[in-house]
Amino acid sequence: KQEVTQIPAALSVPEGENLVLNCSFTDSAIYNLQWFRQDPGKGLTSLLLIQSSQREQTSGRLNASLDKSSGRSTLYIAASQPGDSATYLCAVDSGANSKLTFGKGITLSVRP
């Protein structure tokens, strides 16, 4: 059974700092990995999707990497801003049916 872990559960950084959020998964036979953002009281918004054949994906200040063999992914946020404050969830798709297994998320607070 696939398990996804995100540590730490919470992170607080000053504005402008570059930061890395980590995600690990137990079964390396994945189809893709996705990063989502969740604002308080809201649903999830997809940020990046990395196919199993890819090593990384970039969108603006966000860069996600994937190392299947070690069961790890990182989400890099450059020049963090207070508006980046949210919970970031990592999710792994272990098959072609798009059935996702989620980590519990990292709650990020960017201090002005």
Partner 1 sequence: DAGVIQSPRHEVTEMGQEVTLRCKPISGHNSLFWYRQTMMRGLELLIYFNNNVPIDDSGMPEDRFSAKMPNASFSTLKIQPSEPRDSAVYFCASSRRTGLGETQYFGPGTRLLVL
CB atoms within 10 A of CB 27: 14
Q: Which is nearer to partner 1, 71 or 105 (CB)?
A: 105
Burial annotation 28-44 (CB, 10 A radius, 16+ → b, else e): eebebbbbbbeeeeeee
In Å, the largest CA–CA distance within the chain is 42
What is the total count of residues that contact partner 1 (CB under 8 A)? 23
Helix, strand or coil, per DSSP, at residue 79: coil
User: Shortest distance, CB of residue 43 to partner 1, whole angstroms?
Assistant: 4
Which range touches partner 1 (CB under 8 A), out of 19-27, 58-66, 67-75, 100-108? 100-108
Burial annotation 72-94 (CB, 10 A radius, 16+ → b, else e): ebbbebeebeeebbbbbbbbbbb
- By CB under 8 A, what part of segment 5-64 binds partner 1? 31-32, 34, 36, 42-46, 49, 51
100 binds partner 1 (CB under 8 A): yes
Candidates 2, 19, 102, 107; binder of partner 1 (CB under 8 A) is 102
The residues that touch partner 1, with contacts defined as CB under 8 A, are: 31-32, 34, 36, 42-46, 49, 51, 89, 93, 96-105
